Structure formats: structure tokens, C-alpha cells
A and B are shown apart, each in its own frame.
Chain A
Amino acid sequence: MKELLANPVLVKEIKLRFRNMKSFTGLFFYLLIMGIFVFGFINLTSSISGSGFFRPEESFMLFSMLSYIQLGLILFITPGLTAGSVSSEREKQTLNILLTTAQSSFQIIFGKLLSSIAFLLLLLVSGLPIYSMVFLYGGVSPGQIAIIFLFYFLTLLVIGGLGVMYSTLTRRTIVSMIVTYGTMIFLTAVTGFFLILSVSLSSAAMGTGVSPLSYFWASINPAVVLLTLLEPGFNDEIGQMTGIPLPLWVSYTIFYAFIFVGSIWLSVSKLRVNMNKYK
């Protein structure tokens, strides 16, 4: 583990990232958005209810909305941080030199990915004090927050892995950016659309119950999976409707783990030319 973290690319990337004002302004705006939302919500809810206090049910609602906002921010920021990781080195003409060093392709890819993940984790951790506002009012368990954070971690790992993969495969950062954002939109909006379509089509055809395809679309959509994590009862409903008792988060973890492993494998194998290929 120590060797993995002493990765030269990781150390260099973190150094460069924190010498750049963009990282600090990014962090500032991230916390600003979260802060405005939390204080705005509390203020609005207590003034609308006229009670002057904040009930645990409202606290849970705040927590849910905050979780979605944070998911949205992660999905929005991760491609921006990772989709240029290799292609920008190519554009700056630093990649060739890096590739002639003794570092393995895995080390380089791992360093690139981990530096972006580290920054994203910093965003998540720095948002914790705002999150903890919810605890003041009750209604949410720390365990639930831990699960949500694990879910975030898996999601940003996969989107980050995809970003690094596209950045390795494409020559230009702009192309890599577009494709990574495209994939992120597919995994969130397009699968959501297919889920709605699939549910409505199968209900129209069968009357009751929905097709297993709906389960598939639901299980790869981060927003739906987050809903099942916030409302575990929703898992049982889906199980009854689709006939698949497996909780969505299990399928999500398996599917996203495959994507992650696949994207890292492809990045590592395509980073350098295969000198032995023509044999």
C-alpha cells in the first residue's frame, strides 16, 4: 500500500493540482453550493411551517436532497477531473517522456486516477461538516451516511476510471471530455428514460408487474440506486414488481465493478504500444 501511495505520478499530480488556484476555487464553490442549499432549505422549511423548528422528517428530506445534490456534483466534476488526465499529457508533449520511464503502465494509470479520486474525496470530506448539520436535527443514522459515502466512492471510481480510459484511448482532451460526459449522461439520464419507458410498456402489456429489463435499467442508474439506499423499502417493492429479489445496490456494485476493472484494464493495455504485437 505504501508503495502504491508513493507512486511518482500520484505525488506529482497532487502537487500540481494544489499549486493550481482552480482546485481551491472548485472546492470553494462546491461548499458554497452545498451551504446555500442546506441553510436555504432549513430557513425556508421553518419559515413555511411557521413552527420555528425543524422536524426529523424534514431533516431526512434535507438529507435526501443533499445526497442527490452531492451525487450530481460528483457526476458533474469527475469527468472534468479525469477525462484529460492522459490526453492532456499527450497535448503538452510530456507523455512520450513519461512513457519511456521505468514506471509500469499500471503505475501511471493508477497515479492519474488516484490523484483525481483523492481530490474528489477531499470534496466529499470537506462537505461533511455541512452534512453533519442534518445530525443536529436527527432523523438520519451515521451508518446511513457511511453507506451513501461508499456509494459515492464506487460511483466516482467508475466515472473516473471511464474518464481515464477515454483519455488514454483518444488523442484529444476535448473528445475525451465529450465522451466521458456522454457516458455519464447515458448512465444517469438515458438509463432513467429507458427505465420509465420499460416500466410503462410492461405495465401496459402485462397489467401488473414489470419486466426484468426494468430492473436492469434501475440497477445501473445511480439516482435510482441512491433512492433505494435512502429508502431501503423501495428495494422490496422493486423485487416484488420485477420478480428479482436481489437488492439494486448489489447489482449496481457488480455492474460498476466490471466497468471499473474493464476501463482500468483497457487503459493500462492501451497506454503504451505493444512492441511485441507484430511477432
Chain B
Amino acid sequence: MIEIKGLTKKYGSFYALKDLNLTIEEGTVFGFVGANGAGKSTTFSILATLLQPTSGEAWINGISISQNPHEIRKQIGYMPDFFGVYDQLKTDEYLDFYGASYGLDAQQRVVLIPKLLELVNLSAKRHDYVDLLSRGMKQRLCLARALIHDPKVLILDEPASGLDPRARVEMREILRELKAMGKTILISSHILPELAEMCDTLGVIDSGELIAHGSVQSIQEKLQSEKVISVKLTGGFTEAIRFFENDPLVSQITEIHERGILQFLYKGTEEDQLDLLRKAITAGLPVLAFSEEETDLEDIFMEITKGAGTL
């Protein structure tokens, strides 16, 4: 379990992270959403004992990051957003070095390295020099490196950034496997919408402040102030537009004429929505379908990062 209390990082008068309070249950996957510079990497760096917080505290599996950073390092597997590799080491030597760095003896490493390379689909590249690997392969190798000491917690900062769609899919598959292995995973990514189904909880951070925290659905409900409603009509568009314009909860009506659809933003609750449909039918509008458009996490992410300060 990860517990963060009042974590703050200040640079002069600028808050990179402001009073972060968060609890992440063991064996769950936590997704951290936020624009660049929102404070995701700062949080992860503090948890990885690379950055000293200005105030606050965090515990990983009950171990304090400030009191016992050495023990924390054994508990976590950290993958930074930007990292380099030792260009004259081979793939297996790279893992061997980090295995030794975590105190694994030579025999353990010999057994473990092929398994890890298989997990990240790099078995064929075992004897290749690390700098000759593609970016996606390097990312996967770095993930294998983070797993070498079998940590309970994985802190993955943008593990799929800069990857092509195929490499992203591969990365997602690996993360799914890790989730099935019962790891507690903290992940920040721009591909979070793709990972939504594997995240148990999400945290939305903006300008160093956590503005929402909870399940994917609860975040969606909390942050989505307006829904997109689609109404399919068999005719009578002018009357329909006039009708919906009169509703104070409706705005930005657009007509997709060729498909016979009207779309508008709606601020009301589900009951209000039902009432609106009832009124539309009573008013004699030829309604064929009335539905709420599904907005994915990408849309919400865009909305949050556009004007989170007002949320």
C-alpha cells in the first residue's frame, strides 16, 4: 500500500506539488493524469527517493521514504520518463548489472534474466548491444530492469511516451501481465485512455494539485460537467432546434443533416434528460433515437488540461 500525506515540493515560490494526499491500495493500478509539468514526475521522483520533498511524507508498504529510503529502493521498481542506457553493454549484461546492484547473486541472475527478457519479448535480442535497440525495445528493457528484484511496487513514469502504436500495444500487454502478477502499479501516461480499463483508480493532477481521485467512472462523472446528447429525427429539424434552444440546460446545438442527427451539450441530470425526452415527444418531434454520446478519457483529459483551474 502507498500512502501519501501532505506531500509538497516548492521551488522558491513555485509549487511543483502542493499538499498531495493519496492512498493506493496494494495490488491495484493507479493512473496519474495531468499535462506536462503538472507534478506527476515530481511525485514519482519523490517516491523513488530521487527528490527531497519540501514537506509531507509518504509510506510504501509502511516504510517511510524519508526515514528509510534505502529500504524503499528495494521495494520499488522505478522507470523514469527519460532515461539513458550504457551503450557498450549487451542486453543481458545490462540486466545482469542491475541484478547485481540489487544484491542478486550470479546464479539467481542467470535464471532470472531469460525469464524477464521473455516477459518483455526481448529474448531474441539477448546478445545485442543496448544502444542498437529501438526505442520501444529500450522501454521494455527498462521495464524488465525495474522488475529484476521482484519489487512489490512499480513506479512507471510515462512508460509509453514516444512509442509507435504497435509498441504501445505491446507495452500495454506487458502491464496487464504485471497487474495479473499482483504488482501495485503507479503509472503516468498520455496513453491513459488506452489504459483506462486496467487502472483501478485514477488521479488527476494539475499545477501540482490533485483535482480528482477515484475510479475511472467516478472521475468521469466528477469532471464531465456537460454531456453530449445526440437526437436522431426523421424530420422537422427547424422545430426541433427551436424546441431544444428554449431549454436552459441545452447549449451549442449542431445539426448533422445528412445523418438526421442533432447534437447539443447538456448540463442536466439523468432525470432532467428523461424529462427533456418526454417533452420532445409530447411536443410532437419525430424522435427516432435519443442518446448520450460516450466521451472517452482522452476527451476528459483534454478538458481537464484545458481549464482545470476552474474545476
Q: A240 at the A/B interface (Cβ < 8 Å)?
A: no
From 231 to 279 in chain A, residues with beta carbon under 8 angstroms from any chain B beta carbon are 272-279
One of A97, A104, A272 near B83 (C-beta < 8 A): A97
Q: B100 at the A/B interface (Cβ < 8 Å)?
A: yes
Instruction: Assess the A102–B76 pair: CB atoms within 8 A.
Output: no
Q: B53 at the A/B interface (Cβ < 8 Å)?
A: yes
One of B66, B97, B103, B149 near A279 (C-beta < 8 A): B66
One of B53, B80, B101 near A8 (C-beta < 8 A): B101
Q: A93 at the A/B interface (Cβ < 8 Å)?
A: yes
| Cα-based distance from A93 to B98 in the complex (angstroms) | 15
| Cα-based distance from A17 to B98 in the complex (angstroms) | 18
Instruction: Assess the A100–B74 pair: CB atoms within 8 A.
Output: no
Closest to B54 in A: A278
Q: B200 at the A/B interface (Cβ < 8 Å)?
A: no
Contact string against A for B residues 85-120, beta-carbon threshold 8 Å, 1 for contact and 0 otherwise: 110110001000110111100000000000000000
Q: B288 at the A/B interface (Cβ < 8 Å)?
A: no
Q: B234 at the A/B interface (Cβ < 8 Å)?
A: no
Q: A19 at the A/B interface (Cβ < 8 Å)?
A: yes
Q: B205 at the A/B interface (Cβ < 8 Å)?
A: no
Q: A98 at the A/B interface (Cβ < 8 Å)?
A: yes
Instruction: Assess the A16–B88 pair: CB atoms within 8 A.
Output: yes
Taking the nearest CB of chain A, how far is it from the CB of B240, in angstroms?
58
Instruction: Assess the A96–B50 pair: CB atoms within 8 A.
Output: yes
One of A16, A99, A275, A278 near B86 (C-beta < 8 A): A16
| Cα-based distance from A20 to B86 in the complex (angstroms) | 12
Instruction: Assess the A102–B88 pair: CB atoms within 8 A.
Output: no
Instruction: Assess the B70–A19 pair: CB atoms within 8 A.
Output: no
Q: B213 at the A/B interface (Cβ < 8 Å)?
A: no
From 262 to 278 in chain B, residues with beta carbon under 8 angstroms from any chain A beta carbon are none
Closest to A92 in B: B84
Residues of B with C-beta under 8 A to A203: none
Q: B69 at the A/B interface (Cβ < 8 Å)?
A: yes
Taking the nearest CB of chain A, how far is it from the CB of B130, in angstroms?
11
Instruction: Assess the B100–A8 pair: CB atoms within 8 A.
Output: yes
Residues of A with C-beta under 8 A to B76: 100
Residues of A with C-beta under 8 A to B86: 12, 16, 92, 94
| Cα-based distance from A275 to B97 in the complex (angstroms) | 26
Residues of A with C-beta under 8 A to B51: 273
| Cα-based distance from A212 to B210 in the complex (angstroms) | 65
Q: A103 at the A/B interface (Cβ < 8 Å)?
A: yes
Tell me which of B51, B86, B93 has the highest count of chain A C-beta atoms within 10 A of its own C-beta.
B86
Taking the nearest CB of chain B, how far is it from the CB of A157, in angstroms?
25
| Cα-based distance from A94 to B101 in the complex (angstroms) | 14
A102 with B73: in contact, given A93-B84, A94-B86, A97-B145 (CB under 8 Å)? Answer: yes
Residues of B with C-beta under 8 A to A99: 49-50
Taking the nearest CB of chain B, how far is it from the CB of A193, in angstroms?
42
Taking the nearest CB of chain B, how far is it from the CB of A101, in angstroms?
4
Taking the nearest CB of chain B, how far is it from the CB of A204, in angstroms?
54
Q: B67 at the A/B interface (Cβ < 8 Å)?
A: yes
B residues contacting A by CB (< 8 A) are 45, 48-55, 65-67, 69-70, 73-74, 76, 78, 80, 82-86, 88-89, 93, 97-98, 100-103, 142, 145, 149
Query: What are 22 A-B pairs at a CB distance below 8 A?
Result: A11-B97, A12-B89, A93-B82, A93-B83, A94-B83, A94-B85, A97-B83, A97-B145, A100-B76, A100-B78, A101-B102, A272-B69, A273-B49, A273-B50, A275-B49, A276-B66, A276-B69, A277-B52, A278-B52, A278-B53, A278-B54, A279-B66
The 9 lowest CB-CB distance pairs between A and B, nearest first, are A93-B84, A8-B100, A101-B101, A92-B84, A273-B52, A275-B66, A19-B88, A100-B78, A275-B69
A residues contacting B by CB (< 8 A) are 6, 8-9, 11-12, 15-16, 19-20, 92-94, 96-104, 272-279
